[in-house]
Amino acid sequence: MAEVVDTVLRPVIPVLELVRDLLNSLCAGKEPWQVMIYTCASTLVAVAAYNFIFQEEPITVRAKRTFFKIMRMIPQVKRKIDEQLSSTLIYIRKEKNTHLGGQDYVQYLPKQGLAKDELMIELNKYKALDRGNWQDGWVSGMVYNGQMDLTDIMSTTYGMFAWSNPLHPEVFPNVVKMEAEIVRMTCNMFNGGPKAVGTMSTGGTESILLVCMAYRNMIQEKRGVKFPEIIVPITAHAAFDKAAHILRMKITHIPVDPITCKVDMKAMRRAIGRKTCMLVGSAPGFPHGVIDPIQEIAELGMNNNIPVHVDACLGGFLIAFMGKAGYPIEPFDFQVPGVTSISADTHKYGYAPKGSSVIMYSDAKFRHYQFFQQVNWPGGVYATPTLGGSRAGAIIAACWSAMMFMGESGYVDATRKIITTARYIIEELRKNDHITVMGDPQVSVVAIKSDRFDVYRLVDKLHTRGYTLNPLQFPASIHLCVTLVHTKKGVADRFVKDIRELTTEIMKNPDLKAVGQAAVYGLAQSVPDRSLVKELASMYLDSCYSTDNSSPAANGVA
C-alpha cells in the first residue's frame, strides 16, 4: 500500500512544490487580511462565472439571443423587422376574418338569457363556420372517425353523464368505474399484464406531462437529483418540450437518421448521464409517422436503470391492432422488457371525443410518483391522480361508450382500412420522382419532401384545391395523416392524382418560391433569430383571442 502511494505521489510532489512557491510569491508582501479578501473575492468570481456559463439554457443559445437582441437595436434592422411583423399580422387578421365571414364577437353577457330556439339560431351560425370539408378527406388528421352512429352514441352518453365528476367517487361511482375500465382495457391492449396500471388524462399533452413528472419526482426522491434531464428523439412531440419547460427539466434532443427518420441510438447512448430520468421513443412519431427502435431504446434504458416511455399518443389505437389487421410490426409495448410507460390517446384513433387520453405504467410504483396529496388543507385531505381537480365525467363516459361500441373487431376493421389506405398512398407517391417519401412509414402518417422544388409550394397549391395538410420543418416537408375519413371510396385516389398533377405543374417552373400562408412557413424556418418566430407565434395566439375584428392593434394584439 505504502509503495503504491509512494509511486503515485512521488512525481506529483515537485508540481505541488512549484504551486506552493508560486502562491507564496503572489502573496509575498501582502498582509494576511489582503490574502483573505483576495481569496474570498476570487471564489465569488469563480462561482459567478460558473453560474453564468452553466444555466438551464446552454451559453451558445444565450449568446445567439443576445447577438440578435443587439442587432435589433440597429434602427434600420428594427424598422425592417417591424415592417415584416406588421404585414404578417395584417395577413393573420385577414385570414381570420375570411374564416369568420366578418361576423361580430359577443362582448358582454346577454342581459337576458336566450330562449332555446333563439340559442339554436345562434348556434347554427357558429356551426356554419365549420368548413365541414374534413368529411370528404380534405384535411390531414384532426377528425379520426367522424361517423354519425358513433357521434350519436357519444352525444347521448355525454348527456347522460353531463354533471358527473370523478373527483367525487361517493356520488359518481359510475364514472370512476368507467375510468378504471378504460385504463384496464387499454393496459390489456398493450400487453401490460395484471401489474400494469394507469390513469386517464385530458389529452396526449397532459399524459406526457404526467409521465415526465412521475419520473422526475422519482429520481428526485430516490437519488436527490435537483434538475433531472429527459432524453427524446428530435422528432418526439413538442409536448415533451412543454413538459420540460413547465417541470424545469433539461431536455436533450437526439437527432434522427436523415434517411430512416429513426432516432440515432449511438447519440442517445452518449447523451445518457447521471441526471437522466427517462428515455423516450415514439410509436409512431408525429412528423414522419415512423416508429423509433423501441426494443433498442428499452434495452438501453434497462441497462442504465432508466425508465423508458413509449409515446403512442398518435397511433396507439392503431398499432395495438395492426397484427390482427394483417399488418404485423415489431413489438413496441409492455411485452418489450424495459418499457415502463406508454401513452395512447383515446381521442385520436380511439375515436373518443377530444379531451381524453390514457397514460399507462408497467408497475404501480411509477404511478405513485404521478399522484398528488395535500393532507393538511383546511378543505380536507386532498388527493388527485392527474393535473385537474374536478374532471369531466361525461368525457370519460363518452370515451367508454366509444371503446365499447367499437370493440376489438371494430378497431381491427378501422385499422385495416386506414393502414391499407396509407400503404396505397405511400406506394403511389413513391412512383412520383419529384418528391420523396420520408423514412419507411409503417402506420398512418406519410411525409414527403422534395429536392427539386420548394415543397411549401405544394402546400399552397393543395390549399387552392381545398386541402389542409401539415407543413413540417427541418427539413421542409409536409405530411398527410390518414384517418377513417380518408378510407372512403375515391379519397386516396383523388389525393394521389392531385399530388401528381400539382407536382407536374410545379416542375414547369421548379425554382419559384412559395407565396401566401406557405411562404410564412418557409420564412419561419429560415429566420435564424428564433425569438422572432416565437414573437410571430404569440402574435398569432393573441389574434385567436382578439374579439375585435376591426383594428389589428386591439385586445393585446400589438
Ligand X SMILES: *Cc1c(COP(=O)(O)O)cnc(C)c1O
Give me the least distance between CB of 456 and ligand X, in Å please: 22
- Tell me the three cell numbers of residue 10: 512521488
For binding to ligand X (CB under 6 A), which residues are involved? 203-205, 237, 239, 282, 285-286, 311, 313-314, 345, 357
Of 237 and 391, the one with the shorter C-beta distance to ligand X is 237
**Termini Cα distance of the chain:** 74
- Tell me the three cell numbers of residue 444: 398512418
Of 237 and 457, the one with the shorter C-beta distance to ligand X is 237
Phi-psi region of 138 (alpha: psi -120 to 50; beta: other; left: phi over 0): alpha
Give me the least distance between CB of 263 and ligand X, in Å please: 13
Q: Which contacts (CB < 8 Å, 24+ apart) does range 490-497 have?
A: 491/136, 491/137, 491/421, 492/137, 492/421, 492/424, 492/425, 492/428, 494/137, 495/137, 495/425, 495/467, 496/424, 496/425, 496/428, 496/429
Give me the least distance between CB of 447 and ligand X, in Å please: 13
Going by the DSSP 8-state scheme, the letter that residue 139 receives in this structure is B
Distance, CA of 450 to CA of 463 (rounded, Å): 18
Give the DSSP per-residue string, 208-276: HHHHHHHHHHHHHHHH--SS-EEEEETTS-THHHHHHHHHT-EEEEEPB-TTT--B-HHHHHHH--TTE
Give me the least distance between CB of 201 and ligand X, in Å please: 9
Give me the least distance between CB of 222 and ligand X, in Å please: 27
Give me the least distance between CB of 437 and ligand X, in Å please: 19
Give me the least distance between CB of 284 and ligand X, in Å please: 7
Of 317 and 366, the one with the shorter C-beta distance to ligand X is 317
- Tell me the three cell numbers of residue 381: 385531505
Maximum pairwise Cα distance, the chain: 98
Residue with nearest beta carbon to ligand X: 204
Give me the least distance between CB of 241 and ligand X, in Å please: 11
Of 345 and 428, the one with the shorter C-beta distance to ligand X is 345
Of 229 and 311, the one with the shorter C-beta distance to ligand X is 311
Of 317 and 521, the one with the shorter C-beta distance to ligand X is 317
Please classify residue 59 by burial: count the beta carbons closer than 10 Å to its beta carbon, then call 0-12 exposed, 13-18 middle and 19+ buried.
exposed
Give me the least distance between CB of 200 and ligand X, in Å please: 12
Give me the least distance between CB of 251 and ligand X, in Å please: 15
> Do residues 524 and 79 make contact, with C-beta atoms less than 8 angstroms apart?
no
Contacts of residue 124, defined as CB under 8 A and 6 or more positions apart, other chains included, come to none
Of 448 and 502, the one with the shorter C-beta distance to ligand X is 448
Nearest to 135 by CA among 124, 126, 146, 125: 146
Of 478 and 519, the one with the shorter C-beta distance to ligand X is 478
Of 285 and 385, the one with the shorter C-beta distance to ligand X is 285
Q: Cis peptide before 233, with omega less than 30 degrees from 0?
A: no
Phi, psi of 472 (to 5 degrees): -120, 165
Of 198 and 204, the one with the shorter C-beta distance to ligand X is 204
Strand partners, 199: 359
- Give the SS3 label for residue 325: coil
